[in-house]
Amino acid sequence: MTTHTISVLAGDGIGLEVMPVAIEVLDAATRDAGVRLDWRVQDWGSDYYRAHGTMMPADAIETMAATDAIFLGAVGHPDVSDVETLWGMLIPIRRAFDQYVNLRPVRSFAGVRSSLAGDPEIDVVIVRENVEGEYSAVGGRSYQGTPHEAAYQQSLFTRHGIERIATYAVEVASGRRKHLVSATKSNGIIHTMPFWDEVVAEVVDRAGDIELESVLIDALAARAVRSPQSLDVIVASNLFGDILSDLVAGAVGSIGIAPSANLNPAGEHPSMFEPVHGSAPDIAGRGIANPVGQIWAGAMMLRHLGHPQIADQIEAAFTAVVERGEVTPDLGGTLSTREVGAAVIAELAAQR
Ligand code: ATP
Ligand code: MG
């Protein structure tokens, strides 16, 4: 019996509704497979913030460091600013545990209408750099209250940072169509982006058998909506990857399906797995949130923990359920969050 301890941060809003359902699915999938998941549930997030003035306690990083992975729901509340949730929780976790890869698979499901003409089949993996680049805290504001008021912010790209994200992207591409698109903007951003292009090309050259296409981010955005079938693996900087992954995920249908992994690939520190969606205050408390993004994130977690077969089974199960139309209202169905979870568990049993 292998045991993995998992830090559970359900967070706020629908995070509290989809998390228990995903946990039930993961427990059902691991039960007869010799794997036990030891859930360490924490009540951190916006409610914690309103009671204590911080999103999580001072020893939170230490507490999570002693576990094998972090399973996150969603954090955010209308009364708590995005800056608080991001810089008080998500960014400190990513940085403390050096989760330098943000991995976002996006694919279409039969029967789920995309917002793109012709309903193209989409199967893309976006590999986003997660700890440096445009989202540095280096900068400032000057001359406030004068006509010369100004703001400036540095992007910071390191050779080490680009090499390791490109190396990870090459690995992903090797297991797929061996075609890698690198998002760039070296015609307009003339210092960091040519450096990005150079280092990515070096890494791809060393790998030998991967075809590299460097595409300007504006053209890539257009291509992602006009011919997403031409894309397989995309490697992108922090900002470009952020925008592009929402763009592609938005194109396939509900934001409620998409998962995201914040990886420390070598496993020196715990990695974090979460759905792409937020706390969705507009539908929270109604029991109708789509749990598939959280369940898929759980499958990615099991894959990372060394259980690819269980991950495959979970993915096959929710795919069958979604494609049969057993879905929540965001996908045009009538099922509740819990009913979708029960359908996935029944499908897992049926596939055995
Ligand atoms: P946050 O500030 O926490 O990021 P948000 O409102 O910016 O929240 P989301 O929570 O992602 O962003 O919600 C965007 C829209 O998508 C909302 O209308 C929400 O109801 C819908 N939505 C998000 N997640 C789901 C889900 N799992 N199931 C159904 N609808 C969802
Ligand atoms: Mg949001």
The token pair that represents 4 in the structure block: 């993995």
Pocket residue to mutate for ligand 1, from 283, 331, 338, most atoms within 8 A of Cβ = 283
Give the Å distance between the CA of 281 and the centre of ligand 1. Answer: 7
Distance CA 27, CA 100 (A): 28
Q: Is the CB of 14 under 6 A from ligand 1?
A: yes
Ligand 1: which residue has its CA nearest to atom 31? 256
pLDDT > 90? residue 352: no
Q: Which residue has the tokens 């015609």?
A: 187
Comparing 105-114, 143-152, 197-206, the range with the smallest average pLDDT is 105-114
Binned at pLDDT 50, 70 and 90, residue 304 comes out as very high
Catalytic residues: 143, 185, 218, 242, 246
The token pair that represents 303 in the structure block: 């894959």
As to burial, measured by CB atoms within 10 angstroms (0-12 exposed, 13-18 middle, 19+ buried), residue 254 is buried
Among the listed residues 289, 276, 196, the one whose alpha carbon sits nearest the alpha carbon of residue 244: 276
CATH superfamily membership of 114-252: Isopropylmalate Dehydrogenase (3.40.718.10)
Residues of the chain with CATH 3.40.718.10: 1-100+259-352, 114-252
User: How many Cβ atoms are within 10 Å of 267's Cβ, its own excluded?
Assistant: 13
Ligand 1: which residue has its CA nearest to atom 15? 280
- Tens of pLDDT, residues 241-257: 999 998 988 888 778 99
pLDDT > 90? residue 260: yes
Q: What is the DSSP letter of 58?
A: T
The pTM of this model reads 0.94
Among the listed residues 21, 89, 34, the one whose alpha carbon sits nearest the alpha carbon of residue 56: 89
In the chain, % of residues over pLDDT 90:
86
Q: Averaged over 325-334, what is the pLDDT?
A: 95
Distance CA 260, CA 244 (A): 13
Give the Å distance between the CA of 89 and the centre of ligand 1. Answer: 19
User: Which pLDDT score, from 0 to 100, does residue 254 have?
Assistant: 73
Taking CA atoms, 328 is separated from 21, 89, 177, 257, 338, in Å, by: 13, 29, 33, 11, 10
The predicted complex's ipTM stands at 0.93
Pocket residue to mutate for ligand 1, from 47, 255, 295, most atoms within 8 A of Cβ = 255
Q: Is the CB of 290 under 6 A from ligand 1?
A: yes
Topology annotation, domain 1-100+259-352: Isopropylmalate Dehydrogenase (3.40.718)
Distance CA 268, CA 271 (A): 9
Beta bridge partners of 74: 11
Q: Averaged over 105-132, what is the pLDDT?
A: 89
Q: Which amino acid is at 339?
A: E
The token pair that represents 273 in the structure block: 């797995």
Ligand 1: which residue has its CA nearest to atom 26? 256
Q: What is the DSSP letter of 140?
A: E
Q: Which residue has the higher pLDDT, 9 or 91?
A: 9
Q: Is the CB of 282 under 6 A from ligand 1?
A: yes
As to burial, measured by CB atoms within 10 angstroms (0-12 exposed, 13-18 middle, 19+ buried), residue 83 is exposed
